[in-house]
Amino acid sequence: MNRLKALGGEGQAVWLDYIRRDILENGDLERMVARDGVTGVTSNPAIFGQAIGDSDLYDGAMREYLARRPEAGAEELYETLAFEDIRAAADILRPVWDATDGADGYVSLEVSPHLAEDTEGTLASARDLSSRVDRPNLMIKVPATAAGIPAIETLISEGIHVNVTLMFSLAHYEAVAGAYLRGLARAPEPRRVASVASFFVSRVDSKVDAALDALGTPEAKALRGTVAIDNSKMAYRRFREIFHGPAFAELRSDGARVQRVLWASTSTKDPAYRDVLYCEELIGPETVNTIPPATLEAFRDHGEVRRTLDRDLPRAEVRLASLAALRIDLGRVTEELQREGVEKFSKPFDALLATLERRRKQIVSELGEVAG
């Protein structure tokens, strides 16, 4: 039994949280789709930074492009390389998209993290990316910031598929679900719109565990490694209430799709925890788990498949209440995490552009020497 593929039997889609040119060209992604049931791919500036900046896989493509356009800047070069990868991944996943009538088979591309507080800039960038990549199974990643929420609503109303990212709290989730519902209500063909709401997991434990360790009491130690999962379960419960209740009933009758919850940041950061902890404890219908390669391999090897998302909810509520009793404000923590998340994507993006600029100058100089 392939454990990853078995997740589909519990209603959970597996997406790969990784993209690099070699897995698109050597058949690895196609094999993951066939063998493991992978039905989507997510990317972000950090992933592209590692792929483009830390390997020579893109040197030939950069040289070829700069030979034609030596005046191209680093950002144009980045977009050219990234778009090529995104299109290739989308084409590999297109049979999944076709077979599911657009319910799955998506690849995600992020708007610039520097637009996180710019609604109009986000809208312009999302429309531009959607048009230029030109694949029906593209999702545009937009952060769930205060400026991102109205952009998400508008993009959904225009029929652009959106992967909402950087959600850490129940408040973030409710704002995102509301934007999706409002956008669908204005969409000309709501049944053709797809969206996921990416709820981040392990980063919550990393920050909360540090606060618990600082307290050092037995009560605090007992909560280590529980808050991220409990927090996620509360979001999933709210998802079920919204999308299986009256708020979505009319849209459902029109053929609209639910906005699936996507679990992001599901690799464990603390070596004391089981390496597939966040995959095993967040299994349930109408969800997606986007998993980095090492965790994907670990789950294929020894993950336990069982529906867990709606188990032990009363216990989860008690533990979250215990956290509050210890004067750890989860709301404040999750707001900090969202702000930090924007920064964590901005810094790798800037570093990638700096790397590309250095490489661009080097290649243009080499091409000039050859021409001379």
Looking at residue 369, its pLDDT comes to 66
Kind and range of the H or E run holding 144: none
Pairwise CA distance, residues 280 & 284, whole Å? 10
In 3D space, the residue among 158, 164, 157 whose CA is nearest the CA of residue 185 turns out to be 157
- The CATH number, out of the four listed (3.20.20.70, 3.40.980.10, 1.20.120.1200, 3.40.1360.10), of the domain defined by the range 3-41+102-340: 3.20.20.70
Average pLDDT score over residue span 344-364: 90
What values do phi and psi take at 162, rounded to 5?
Answer: -125, 130
Average pLDDT score over residue span 176-196: 97
Pairwise CA distance, residues 108 & 356, whole Å? 22
What is the DSSP secondary-structure string of 306-357?
---TTSSHHHHHHHHHHHHHTT--HHHHHHHHHHHHHHHHHHHHHHHHHHHH
**C-beta atoms surrounding 177 within 10 Å:** 24
DSSP three-state, residue 184: helix
For the stretch 235-256, pLDDT in tens is 999 999 999 999 999 999 999 9
Average pLDDT score over residue span 324-349: 94
* CA 301 to each of CA 16, 30, 36, 272, 315: distance values in angstroms, whole numbers, following the listed order: 16, 19, 11, 19, 29
Tokens of 288: 């997606």
Bridge partners (DSSP) listed for residue 40: 15, 106
pTM: 0.95
Which of these is catalytic: 5, 141, 207, 344?
A: 141
Looking at residue 193, its pLDDT comes to 98
In 3D space, the residue among 98, 16, 14, 287 whose CA is nearest the CA of residue 6 turns out to be 14
- pLDDT tier for residue 54 given thresholds of 50, 70 and 90: confident
Residues whose CB falls within 8 Å of the CB of residue 79, separated by 6 or more in sequence, listed in order: 132
Tokens of 64: 């070829």
For the stretch 146-183, pLDDT in tens is 999 999 999 999 999 999 999 999 999 999 999 999 99
Pairwise CA distance, residues 44 & 85, whole Å? 12
Tokens of 27: 């058949």
Q: How many CA atoms lie within 13 A of 31 on its CB side?
A: 7
Report yes or no: 15 and 290 within 8 Å, Cβ to Cβ. Answer: yes
Q: Is 141 a catalytic residue?
A: yes
In 3D space, the residue among 100, 140, 63 whose CA is nearest the CA of residue 257 turns out to be 100
Pairwise CA distance, residues 211 & 205, whole Å? 10
